[in-house]
Chains A and B, each alone.
Chain A
Amino acid sequence: MRLLKSQIDTKHGAGFVTLLPEEPEDMWHAYNLIQPSDLLRARAIRRVTKTSDSGSVASQRITLDLTIAVTSTDFDVGSGQLHVAGRVASENEHVKLGSHHTLDLELHRKFTIEKVGEGGGGWDSVALEMLREACETERRAELWAVVMGEGTANICLITEHQTILRQRVEVPVPRKRRGGVDGHDKGMEKFYSTTLATLLRHMDLGKESTAGAADKTVPLLLASPGFVAQAFLQYVKSEATRVGNKALMTLVPSILVAHSSSFHVHALKEVLASPAILSKLSDTKFARETVLMDKFTTLLRQDDGRAWYGPREVERAVEKGAVGRGGGVLMISNALFRAQNVTERRRWVGLVDQVKEVEGGEVRVLSSLHESGKRLEALGNVAAILTFPLEDIDEEDDETGEAPGGEDMVI
């Protein structure tokens, strides 16, 4: 994402930025930045009907710049499309004020986000941090991963901020039977060929979109329980030589094979946490997040009161100053900041600010689209590693009778 223009009043949080999305992931950033009640200005195509003086009606599709006051956003993870619905906020000759419009943000087409500040949320610290992150131009890690088992493969694209399940391949593979094992072998053969064909189709798409990075080969990670991944790698190699597919042959050296305990997407977390993979990808956000989540769950297992999860518990811990300098980490999913409700968002922004500014602790905003974010989501979207043990937080919670699970539904 390129920042074309920005005018932000840091004191009140009012102002606007003009952005130019360049890769699909920028849509995800835009999705996180655009809040209800923001003003969004972008190019739109709208059908306009005109009634002439004589009473005849002419309908016309015209392209125009529209400014809408956002009411809701809709993000399609698979295709990376962002639809922003709202009401027209500035009148022009074709469209009346207040009429509804849904803007489809497109790549390489600039848009402007304006936040009014004060009453409506404005550019708070979290939003500014997101903006900074979104406009980072440094190399973005990208990785294809196939998590597979016998007859099932999940083809995922892992980017800096997202893990996208691009396709799930399912091929029925007969189990081994007495006297008839060739069915199994045939089934596996078919499964491999289907998986490879699907994978190549998707990877090609990926290359087109990251046009700038076409020269660098994107690493491919194969993970499976047992020997499926190795066998698949073997198949890819033989297929590459057999067909003479140059592109595939250049890909072969960048294939990593890892072990996972199951073929489900969430098995990716153990793959990414495995030392072999981590050494190669340690500088990436998802790897860091995975390590952090693992650290948290380890502490939780030790059950010494230094790891807490759930909105209420974490807030209480922060209140008591347990998430501060010297190891205090607040983990929070960016899903919480997408809250439709302004006060809800304020609550979390406040918590982040508190930890960061006042307590001096570390804040990690985890992407809800990564495996680590999903794990955090299971824990109520927010968790904290404390500097000193606290034992009675949930006891108090019991007294209030409020279920921590109830707060999960905010998003």
Chain B
Amino acid sequence: MPGHQRAKNVAYDDDDFYSGDDYYEDEEGGQNELSPEDQEQMRLGTIKVKEALDSTISVTDKQIEEALWNYYYNIGKSVTYLKNTFGPKQKSITEPQKTKTTTRFDQAASAASSTVTEMPSPLYAYEQMATATFSRTSASKGCADYPVPLPAFAPLDYESITATDFFFDVPWGNVPQERLGTISIQPLLPRGRLLGGSSRPSKLAALAAARKRKQEEAKIASAQPALSEAKSETDKAVSLLDRLNVKENDAAPTHSSDGGEAIRRESVAKRYPLKKRAPSPEVVETKVDEDESAGEQIPLPEFPDIRTGPSTFASTLCGRGGASADLDSGFASISPFPNSTGLLQAFKGPSPDDIVLNAQAKGTKPKSTQPKKTKGDKLAASMEKMAVEETPKVKSKNLDVIKEFEQSGMKPMANFVVIGHVDHGKSTLMGRLLFDLKVVDQRSVDKLRKEAETIGKSSFAFAWVMDQTSEERSRGVTVDIATNYFETSKTRFTILDAPGHQDFIPNMIAGASQADFAVLVIDASTNSFEAGLKGQTKEHALLVRSMGVQRLIVAVNKMDTVAWSQSRFNEISTQMTTFLTAASFSLKSLTFIPVAGLTGDNVTTPVQNPNAAWYAGGETLIDALDASEPAKRNIEKPLRLTISDVFRGGITNPVSISGRLDSGSLQIGDSVLCMPANESAVIKGLEVENEPVDWVVAGQIATLHLSDIDPVHLRLGDIVCDAKKPVKLVKEFTAKILAFEHVMPMGVDVFRGRLQAEGKVKTLLAVLNKGSGEVVKKKPRIVKPSEVARVCVQLERELPLEVGTRVVLREGGATVAAGLLEG
């Protein structure tokens, strides 16, 4: 397009353009031809498109050119468009249209985003013209924002409709050929389908416009009972609306002159290609409406099928139940600029608003007034019933839990804690175990591996099965206990994956306090084992022992890094045996298993590595786990449960706690006492391993859904106990301790499971003989490491501690002592 024309056209306003038909014609004359550049491009493009289209689709050069023009010489798009429109068309007429309905929006949307910047595009101008015709009168500047290059410009429609059919009832005169050519929008007709869904804003706007002009319209109607285009054309004084109608009718004949169609369209399109308009969806809608109204005139056979029914909103507006059955008048009333007959009819009756209002008045009022009373009574009555029903307490099934448990023949259960120094591979080993046992599926592991790779820690994939919080993942360390379940043929296991880092020993203690036995993971690689022995390998082992864990499986991990060296394994075994027996583990309760968590060797399946031939036939980790003896349960004793988590279990269970039953049993409906808050609660629901159950017994880690208690009374480490046999609160206690460090009168942290309290060693009462427990020295000045002593500990606040409870004393990040409460 020549630059000067472009510049000239920029100045054009819609008003200018549409102010007179003369102008229209002039303009057209000047732009009838393509510029040389465009012609060249068109030529090249046509060739390319032809190449791209396979021979099955028969398309004329003109159609191709048209498509290219629409897509601004975008060959790909043109080809797609042509394929879409001409390909399926041969088979049926309705089908392609249907497909079009779906695609057009998408296309329009994508085109809007992609081509807006491309303007001025010929296509744009083309559409521009189409829209302008009706939106002009919509009294809104909306058309100025016409955005969407509508690609699916349906040549099919105008091909299938002959001009004579189309205009058989239109009484027009001899309109100049050129002008007839302008309205190439006719193909847009089927777009009326869109009405069904999304034309609300524009409809409303249209409605408003329509209402505004109601009077005017009525006048016009009376003045010109048979509104003809000739009349309106001559009469320049008629309203904008009328003018539009004229145009539209004007446009229609375009099709009668098939010959110059393409050129004409092109020329029209070129006429105002430079009008920059921001996107405005409203206009699209208006156009759609307009098309509909125009469409009424055309007896398209498939028309009713294509159209989706108007939205309920639309039908309400029109005040008709079956709007689709009588589309014509429905559309007429919606369309702001309907053709004369439709318009007249539409405004003869009550306005849509009136209809709606009337309908509302008829419909809702009697309903709402009369039955309201009876309903209200019913409602009140039902509310009363509800109120009665709301209060009932949780019903207890009054089960004999002990008997139930014996009868259930439940598989033996075991909880084990996984301990060891930081980065020795505890979480990874457990992740591998769960993966190999199909508890975690391949998909999640793949996902985790991908995520891990993105932050460059691909080896952490298995650990992430256990480490789920963002902090744990980004730092690569376990922070808190992770609980997981799996089942072997013999036993149901609960894994408590403890953090290895020194800072999180409180969490590890919490986990260890729930365990029946422990798996100690040791890194076999050089220096790691030695570092661990000084660090948490030692501390953890001592802690689990002092918390009453008897059996220990030592998993010598990362054997792959030392090439499954037997000597390394033996070296570690010997050293650890010496250390552990010194820590009063009995030799027969120790099991050493070489494993490789990352590769999965000897975890569930025996190791295949040729270097590991020396271990052929040896136990795998899972074998060792299975060999564990079920723990003894204190079912007969009164209930004790240490709260290890307080959380919101969901909308139905606002207060939920979880923890291991140290002793006793529980069933739904039981009333329990929470200490030290001394608040009672009722068990609303019970869960074990995320499955609802009716009862739980000692040894199980259960989730309790509570009612009748405020969560502020529940803290980690609190004890849930039998209301009849409550646990006593103590402020000061004596304990027999095994010192790991020097113990002197000092401030300490007292740990008991999740419970973590401030306290101080008040007095050192005596140093005892390790074996016999006899007093060796009274009132020592200091208790040295590995000595056994009796001390008096004073707490900051009263805590539920019972005789026989195992406590751990820590100070300054180190475990000072572990002991047994004596009273």
Contact = CB atoms under 8 A, between A and B. Distances in A.
Interface of A: 172, 174-178, 180-181, 183-185, 225-227, 231, 259-262, 264-267, 269-270, 297, 300-301, 303, 308-309, 313, 374-375, 378-380, 394, 397-398, 403-405
A95 B781 CA distance: 54
B742 interface: yes
4 smallest A-B Cβ distances: which pairs? A261-B813, A174-B647, A225-B503, A266-B747
Given A375-B746, A375-B747, 8 more contacts: A176-B482, A181-B468, A225-B504, A260-B813, A309-B781, A313-B781, A378-B745, A380-B745
Interface of B: 468-472, 475, 479-484, 501-504, 506, 644-648, 690, 711, 715-716, 742, 744-747, 749, 756, 758, 760-763, 778-779, 781-782, 784, 810, 812-814
B486 to A, nearest CB: 12
Contact of B782 (A269, A300, A313, A378): A300
Given A266-B747, A300-B742, A226 B501 contact: yes
Contacts, number: 111
A394 B779 contact: yes
A380 B745 CA distance: 9
A175 B749 contact: no
Contacts of A261: 502-503, 810, 812-814
B747 A378 contact: yes
Nearest to B482: A176
B744 A174 contact: no
Given A262-B506, A262-B756, A185 B645 contact: no
A308 B744 CA distance: 11
Contacts of A378: 745-747, 760-762
19 contacts: A174-B645, A175-B644, A175-B647, A176-B469, A176-B472, A176-B480, A176-B481, A181-B468, A226-B503, A261-B812, A264-B758, A266-B747, A270-B813, A297-B746, A300-B744, A313-B781, A375-B746, A378-B746, A404-B779
Contacts of A397: 779
Nearest to B711: A172
A182 to B, nearest CB: 9
Contacts of A181: 468-470
A287 B484 CA distance: 46
B243 to A, nearest CB: 56
Given A176-B468, A176-B482, A226-B479, A374 B747 contact: yes
Contacts of A266: 747, 758
Nearest to A225: B503
A301 B742 contact: yes
Nearest to B470: A185
B517 to A, nearest CB: 21
A99 to B, nearest CB: 39
B539 to A, nearest CB: 12
Contacts of B715: 172
Nearest to B479: A226
Contacts of B645: 174-175, 177
B478 to A, nearest CB: 10
Contacts of B480: 175-176
Contacts of A375: 746-747
Contacts of B749: 262, 264
Contacts of B745: 309, 378-380
A255 to B, nearest CB: 20
Contacts of A180: 647
Contact of B648 (A175, A183, A264): A183
Contacts of A303: 742, 782, 784
Contact of A226 (B504, B758, B812): B504
A174 B756 contact: no
A227 B503 CA distance: 9
Contacts of B756: 262
Contact of A405 (B647, B690, B716, B762): B762
A183 B690 CA distance: 17
B686 to A, nearest CB: 16
B484 to A, nearest CB: 7
A41 to B, nearest CB: 39
The residue in A172, A301, A303, A397 that gathers the most chain B C-beta atoms within 10 A of its C-beta is: A172
A262 B711 contact: no
A378 B747 CA distance: 7
Contact of A398 (B690, B760, B779, B813): B779
A26 B443 CA distance: 67
B646 A174 contact: yes
A145 B481 CA distance: 29
B256 to A, nearest CB: 67
A262 B810 contact: yes
Given A181-B469, A378-B747, A378-B762, A172 B646 contact: yes
A269 B648 CA distance: 36
A178 B690 contact: yes
Nearest to A301: B742
Contacts of A260: 813
Nearest to A174: B647
Contacts of B778: 398
Contacts of B690: 178
A211 B696 CA distance: 61
B763 A405 contact: yes
Contacts of A226: 479, 501, 503-504
A300 B741 CA distance: 12
A405 B711 CA distance: 40
A264 B797 CA distance: 13
Contacts of A259: 503
B687 to A, nearest CB: 12
A344 to B, nearest CB: 21
A175 B481 contact: yes
Given A178-B690, A405-B762, A297 B647 contact: no
A385 to B, nearest CB: 14
B272 to A, nearest CB: 49
B758 A379 contact: no
Contact of B812 (A175, A265, A270, A380): A270
A176 B471 CA distance: 11
Nearest to B472: A176
A64 B762 CA distance: 47
A184 B472 CA distance: 12
B433 to A, nearest CB: 15
